[in-house]
Each structure stands twice: as structure tokens, then as C-alpha cells.
């Protein structure tokens, strides 16, 4: 908990202003998402129930950025947490039609009361995007020195593509894998359709994994499903939708 509070204080400091220069030091982009199921790389973290997910992304000078994201969770077990908070800081590099982002993220479950290894973990993440006409190809990798619940080293790799068929409509898909030193490794995949207005995004996607019920805590958290979500880009700060994203 002390580490979590320290990171939030650092984050809030980064998200301030620069009074000496008389100009904003950061531009906030708040969002609120309501989704029918919170899936964490293929596995439900909300017991296949709806989740509300507020977030705040902050742009800083020189392509630095930071953010905070939250969601309700439900792991069924007595003493398990009711919400999750992610805090991250990173930097984006741009090369013509490509972007590379490198960030560090901490994931915390502040009200967790489960015995045993902590659910909290840290990870380093690298994201790459390359745009060719209406298509955006994506690749992402992440590494945690000690994943949630003591699984040890954890490595994730995924790739995908989004195709903008209309100024307001995108179709896409992705495939990923998670490998853990201890615990259950898995593969997961999605196909998505997203429609956008200036303030809202309406998303529907099919999600599945390779895990059987016996590999998924004998629950239906890994079964294939169709997830619907609505995201509201709160009209303060810098949100402006355009066909270029």
C-alpha cells in the first residue's frame, strides 16, 4: 500500500502545471468506459459481469505521458479485491508513419485481503505501431519480474491490425500469448468492430483463449464471449476525434 500511495503522489505531481512558464505542463484526456465484461488478456476479471472503468491519460512535453486507470473486479474468493488501479508513465517516439512507446506500469489491488503472494505487480511495456494507408499494424511486448500471485517471470507478446473502413468505423483483430515461470500460460485472440463519434466509441468484440475450464479455476472466465462497451471521451482537456485517430 505504501508503494501504491507513493506512485500515485508521483503521478499527480507529473500531471501538474508549469506556473513559471505560464503554460500547461500537461494536457488531460479523461475517459469513462462501461463494458459488459472485463477481460484481462482473455480471462475475465469481473466474473463475466459488467465493469465501469474510468481513466485519465495525460500528455506531457517532449512526448512523455502518464496515466491512471481503474476498474471493478470480482474474483469470487472471500477476501479478494473489489477494484484494480493501474498507474503508468512512458515516452513515445515517432518515426514518419511509425510510433514506439516505452512505459512502466504498476497494477494494484488496494483492498485485497487474500492470503499468500500479492496480486500487485510491475511490468515494463513496449508498443509499436506502423500505419500503411487505412491499416495500422500493432505489436506489443511486456515483461514482469514477478507477476501477480507469485507466478515469477512473466512475458507477454501480441500483435494485431486495425483497418479503418470509414472515417468513423474500424475493424481489427489481434493474437497474443502470455508465458509465466510458474502458473498457467495461455494464448488469447480477439476480433473487434469499433464505431466512433467525437465524444463516444461503441465497441463490440469476440474474445477467446486456448484454456479449458479445468485450467481456468473451474469457472467460465475463459470461455469465448462477445463483449460490448461504450467509452465516453469526457469533453475537457484535449480530446478531439478525427479519422486519423
Taking alpha carbons only, the member of 100, 19, 17 closest to residue 59 is 17
Q: Is residue 116 part of a domain?
A: yes
- Name the one residue in this structure whose C-alpha cell is 498507474: 87
Number of domains composing the chain: 1
Q: Is 244 part of a structural domain of the chain?
A: no
238 domain-assigned: no
Residue 243, domain member (yes or no): no
Chain center to CA of 60: 19
Q: Which CATH number covers residue 102?
A: 2.40.160.40
Does residue 10 fall inside a structural domain? Answer: yes
pLDDT of residue 184: 86
- 189 inside domain: yes
Q: Is 169 a member of any domain?
A: yes
Tell me which residue range forms the domain holding 183: 2-233
Q: pLDDT at position 237, please? A: 66
User: What's the predicted TM-score (pTM) here?
Assistant: 0.89
In a domain, 72, yes or no: yes
pLDDT of the chain, 245 residues: tens digit per residue:
454 445 454 454 444 445 445 555 788 999 999 999 999 999 999 999 999 999 999 999 999 999 999 999 999 999 999 999 999 999 999 998 999 999 999 999 999 999 999 999 999 999 999 999 999 999 999 999 999 999 999 999 999 999 999 999 999 999 999 999 998 899 999 999 999 999 999 999 999 999 999 999 999 999 999 999 999 999 886 665 544 44
Q: In whole angstroms, what is the distance from residue 118 CA to residue 243 CA?
A: 42
Residues 158, 175: contact at Cβ < 8 Å? yes
Dump the DSSP string for 114-180: -SSS-S-EEEEEEEEEEEETTEEEEEEEEEESS-GGG--SEEEEEEEEEEEEETTEEEEEEEEEEEE
Amino acid at each position: 500500500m505504501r508503494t501504491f500511495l507513493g506512485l500515485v503522489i508521483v503521478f499527480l505531481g507529473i500531471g501538474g502545471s508549469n506556473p513559471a512558464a505560464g503554460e500547461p505542463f500537461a494536457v488531460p484526456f479523461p475517459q469513462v468506459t462501461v463494458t459488459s465484461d472485463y477481460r484481462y488478456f482473455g480471462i475475465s476479471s469481473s466474473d463475466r459481469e459488467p465493469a465501469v472503468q474510468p481513466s485519465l491519460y495525460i500528455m506531457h512535453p517532449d512526448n512523455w505521458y502518464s496515466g491512471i486507470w481503474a476498474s471493478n473486479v470480482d474474483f469470487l474468493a472471500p477476501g479478494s479485491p473489489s477494484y484494480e488501479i493501474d498507474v503508468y508513465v512512458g515516452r513515445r517516439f515517432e518515426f514518419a508513419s511509425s510510433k514506439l512507446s516505452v512505459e512502466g506500469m504498476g497494477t494494484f489491488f488496494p483492498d485485497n485481503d487474500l492470503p499468500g503472494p500479492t496480486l500487485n505487480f510491475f511490468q515494463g511495456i513496449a508498443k509499436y505501431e506502423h500505419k500503411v494507408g487505412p491499416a495500422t499494424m500493432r505489436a506489443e511486448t511486456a515483461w514482469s519480474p514477478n507477476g501477480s500471485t507469485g507466478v515469477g517471470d512473466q512475458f507477454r507478446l501480441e500483435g494485431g491490425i486495425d483497418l479503418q473502413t470509414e472515417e468513423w468505423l474500424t475493424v481489427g483483430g489481434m493474437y497474443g500469448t502470455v508465458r509465466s515461470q510458474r502458473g498457467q500460460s495461455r494464448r488469447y485472440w480477439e476480433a473487434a468492430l469499433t464505431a466512433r463519434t467525437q465524444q463516444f466509441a461503441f465497441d463490440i468484440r469476440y474474445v477467446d483463449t486456448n484454456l479449458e475450464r479445468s485450467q481456468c479455476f473451474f469457472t467460465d472466465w475463459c470461455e469465448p464471449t462477445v463483449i460490448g462497451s461504450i467509452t465516453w471521451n469526457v469533453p475537457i482537456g484535449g480530446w478531439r476525434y478525427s479519422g486519423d485517430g
